[in-house]
Amino acid sequence: MLGAVQGQVTSGSVQGLREAQEDRVHASHYGDRGWLLAIFDGHNGAGTADVAAHRVEDVFARCVRQYGIGSGAMSATIGAIRDETAERTDGSSASVVFVDEVEDRVYAAVLGDSPVLVRDASGSLVMGPLHNTAANPEDAARAVERGALLVGPYLVDADRMEGVNLTRTIGDADLTFLGRTPEVVDFDLGAGSFVLVASDGLFTRLAPNPEILVARAGDLVDAGADAEAIVQDALTSGSDDNVTAVLWRPEA
């Protein structure tokens, strides 16, 4: 156990080669308990991601009052933000994480494919769930059952031929076939742990899949990289997307 050791948090974000920056990031300390971290990766506009990033701190505090620290509060936080953005036609991923520095535990709730990477108390490098058509074909099949067309990696509306490669999102009111239920995972933390939350721009030609991305992030953190350095590594490795990351690690 870390014994309530405080962590340090860094963040970084770049627009990259995209015409607009649609990523939004949040990091705040929750009382004397730990850190709330979140990434919202918008698409077809930044409105949903922007609302989510501005609301997540207040919504999380309300959910903790109702459910206490834990998986219930995490799921309820994304659920409430999902409901607040349900009428928006632009969309976003939602990865919301709480690093509990008192109980040495991290809780992550995920909708979409903004990766959550953790080195847990055992030293294992793990990634939270991803909801896109490549990583989650079961989700994609359910969306097709609900009326989507699968065109390459995209789930599209048959009438408009517009869609996304995500299988679960917030917003996207016109894409009624998408999933809306977050997945929640939790891990124990140890002295060598870190927690990295990022937009999917972190996937590059040098880290094209979850296994390689997890290993690369571990190497970068071990070499002393902060979130800005991790973002720059993605850019130099060929990312053509917005790239955003927020990193928690114990203070030295």
Q: Would you state the CATH architecture of domain 7-130+182-250? A: 4-Layer Sandwich (3.60)
> How does pLDDT run across 126-163, given as a tens digit for each residue?
999 999 999 999 999 999 999 999 999 999 999 989 99
> Which pLDDT does position 251 carry in this prediction?
84
Start-to-end C-alpha separation, the chain: 15
What's this model's pTM, rounded to 2 decimal places? Answer: 0.96
> Please, which pLDDT band fits residue 102 given cuts at 50, 70 and 90?
very high
Half-sphere exposure of 140 (CA within 13 A, CB side): 19
Cα angle at 36 between 90 and 137, to 5 degrees?
A: 50
CA dist., res. 180 & res. 131, Å (int) = 11
Tens digits of residue pLDDT in 186-225: 999 998 999 999 999 999 999 999 999 999 999 999 999 9
Domain boundaries, the chain: 7-130+182-250
How confident is the model over 39-49, as pLDDT tens digits? 999 999 999 99
For residues 199 and 12, the answer to whether their CB atoms sit within 8 Å is no
Evaluated on CA atoms 187, 189, 194, 195, the torsion sign reads positive
